[in-house]
Amino acid sequence: MSNGWPKKPGRKATPPIRSNEVRGAKYLRNILELLKGLRSHEDGPNRLLHYDEYAAYVLLYFFTPVLTSLRGIQQVSEFEVVRRKLGLPRFSLGSFSEASRVFDPTLLQPIIESLVGQLTPLQGNPRLGALDLALTAVDGTLLHALPKMLWALWLSPEQRAAKMHLEFDILKGVPAHATVTEGNGNERRVLHDHVTAGKLYVVDAGYVDYGLAAAILEARSSFVMRLRDNTAYEVLETRPLTPAAERAGVRRDLVIRLGGAHTPDLHEHRLRLVELHVPAPAPRPGLHPKWKADRKTKLVRAQNSEHTLLLLTDLLGLEADLIAEIYRSRWQIEIFFRWFKKVLHAEHLLSTCQNGVTLVAYCALIASLLVTLWTGRKPTKRTYELICFYFLGWIGEDELVAHLEKLEPAEL
């Protein structure tokens, strides 16, 4: 019965997915070989959805653009063509939710490491490739969370988030290791717990911690770390600048002793401080500068203004301009975060528990590695779209290969 008021438009129902929209399922068959070792984990006579099947469905989600939700994945499990070509079972929303809480995400890490091991370094600065240490950028990024996700502590009960702490292989252009915590998860503590030998960790000012730096040195690794502007240090030696260092923007090259007697972790080490000037980019016509408060340095400056970076490292023998190049290469992890969240849409919630969010994040890293492995290039939006079209059966293999052949060689 109408009350005279106009009826408000309701939310449009999501159209059902048709079986011919997931024709590319057969191309994921080889991925199942990677997942076989997961089958026995938390297995039992009553389990209908096994670990390898769960991971396969999440990977299918990342490579099938018509799948945008958990309900969509569940609907696809009803298609006979998917079950026949992939050997995957039907599942209920309840079984998927239960699986996301019991499967151990760390079992996916060996798969990630195996894929990273199959990749070769991208073309780039040969001086970076000649380093004896694995060039590794480390940083964290926030992932979307809902107020009901009580574990995802961040700013307030209404503003919640998870945080992915990522180690990124710069030379190969791929993720290498990840940990998911609540939004307030301490980045320095997470890295401290995962420091290994043979790496050159490249980190921003958020990782400044004398104990962490000492742990990296004790593990027989090295670091290039951005210092805060108010850091106390004692100059032991001032090194002359080469023409290459001056062209790279190096203003000073110092050997220093960091901190004082109250900070014994690094005080006894001779360290290197490279002062790097970063010029302002050319102004774009019609655009006014935006002001930004830097939470790490506590300074307010125009986003596009010139500024100075203080780079701390234990590598006393490298050229100063190479130290600057190593730190600039850290930007690759920021580009990956944008790909991860804006192109792959990996922060879309398929689970609300911490274990489930970690599982989905790890599967997204595997999807990213597979794109690089299949194409021999860093993942881009256009290439990813064409791979998805190929999986959907919308384009043929010859069309995908033709696109890849037109691409420039992969570079840092």
Q: Does 191 map to a domain? A: no
- Compute the distance between CA of residue 3 and CA of residue 83 in angstroms, rounded to an integer: 50
Extract the runs of DSSP E, i.e. beta strands, from 148-238.
161-169, 174-182, 199-203, 222-227, 233-238
Q: What is the pLDDT of residue 291?
A: 60
Indicate if the pLDDT at residue 217 is higher than 50: yes
Q: What is the pLDDT of residue 366?
A: 94
Q: How many domains does the chain have?
A: 1
- Compute the distance between CA of residue 79 and CA of residue 81 in angstroms, rounded to an integer: 5
Q: Does 5 map to a domain? A: no
In the numeric block, the tokens 């990630």 are attached to 112
Confidence of residue 287 (pLDDT cuts 50, 70, 90): low
Q: What is the pLDDT of residue 320?
A: 94
Ranges 263-267, 269-273, 277-281, 353-357: which has the least confidence: 263-267
- DSSP H helices, 160-205, are 187-193
Instruction: Give the best-scoring range by mean pLDDT among 63-67, 162-166, 283-287.
Output: 162-166
Q: Does 323 map to a domain? A: no
Q: Does 86 map to a domain? A: yes
Strands 161-169 and 222-227: unpaired
42-63: pLDDT as tens digits: 776 667 788 998 998 999 888 8
Indicate if the pLDDT at residue 64 is higher than 90: no
Tokens standing for residue 399: 């069309």
Domain assignment of residue 402, given as a range: 19-105+355-406
Closest by CA position to 134, among listed 197, 212, 204, 208 = 197
Find the helix or strand (DSSP H, E) in which 311 lies.
strand 307-313
288-304: pLDDT as tens digits: 656 665 554 455 555 56
Q: Does 322 map to a domain? A: no
Q: Does 316 map to a domain? A: no
Indicate if the pLDDT at residue 139 is higher than 90: yes
In one-letter notation, the amino acid at residue 6 is P
Q: Does 76 map to a domain? A: yes
More confident residue, 399 or 116: 116
DSSP state of 8: P
Confidence of residue 383 (pLDDT cuts 50, 70, 90): confident
Mean pLDDT of the chain: 84
Region of 320 (left: φ > 0; alpha: ψ -120 to 50; beta: rest) is alpha
Find the helix or strand (DSSP H, E) in which 244 lies.
helix 243-247
Chain CA centroid to CA 131, Å: 23
Confidence of residue 1 (pLDDT cuts 50, 70, 90): very low
> What per-residue string of b and e applies to 323-358 under the rule 16 or more CB within 10 Å gives b?
bbbbbbbbebbeebbebbbeebebbbbbbbebbbbb
More confident residue, 49 or 133: 133
What's the average model confidence in pLDDT over 262-283?
81
Q: Does 366 map to a domain? A: yes
Q: What percent of the chain has pLDDT over 70?
A: 84
74-93: pLDDT as tens digits: 888 888 877 777 788 888 88
